[in-house]
Amino acid sequence: MGAPFDTYLLNDFIEGRLPPYRLYIFLNAFWLNRDRREALKREIQRDARTAVWIYAPGYIQDDLSLKNMTDLTGFSFGMGEIPWGPLMHIVDFKHPITQDLPQDLFWGTNSLVGPVFHLADLGATILGQVVYSQGRCCSGFGVKVYPDWTSIYIAAPNIPAPVLRGIARFAGVHLYNEQGDILYATPQLLAVHTTAGGSRVFHLPKPVEVVYDLFESRILGEQTDQFQTELSPASTVLYFTGAAQLLRSLKDYENPSSIE
pLDDT tens column, 46-65: 999 999 999 999 999 999 99
The answer, yes or no, to whether residue 253 has pLDDT greater than 80, is: no
What dotted CATH number matches 182-253?
Answer: 2.60.40.1180
Q: Does residue 43 contact residue 51 with C-beta atoms inside 8 Å?
A: no
The answer, yes or no, to whether residue 40 has pLDDT greater than 50, is: yes
CA of 216: how far to CAs of 49, 122, 219, 237, in Å?
39, 55, 9, 9
The answer, yes or no, to whether residue 120 has pLDDT greater than 80, is: yes
Residue 134 has what pLDDT?
A: 79
Residue 197 has what pLDDT?
A: 95
The answer, yes or no, to whether residue 81 has pLDDT greater than 90, is: no
Cα separation of 177 and 168, whole Å? 12
Q: By percentage, how much of the chain surpasses pLDDT 90? A: 89
Q: Work out whether strand 136-145 and strand 125-133 pair parallel, antiparallel, or are unpaired.
A: antiparallel
The answer, yes or no, to whether residue 260 has pLDDT greater than 50, is: no
Cα separation of 58 and 66, whole Å? 9
For the chain, give every domain's residue range.
10-170, 182-253
Residue 248 has what pLDDT?
A: 83
Cα separation of 29 and 11, whole Å? 11
What dotted CATH number matches 10-170?
Answer: 3.40.50.880
Q: Per residue in 144-154, pLDDT tens?
A: 999 999 999 99
The answer, yes or no, to whether residue 209 has pLDDT greater than 50, is: yes
Report the predicted TM-score, pTM, of the whole model to 2 decimal places: 0.91
Cα separation of 13 and 53, whole Å? 15
197: left (phi over 0), alpha (psi -120 to 50) or beta: left
Map residue 117 onto helix, strand or coil.
strand
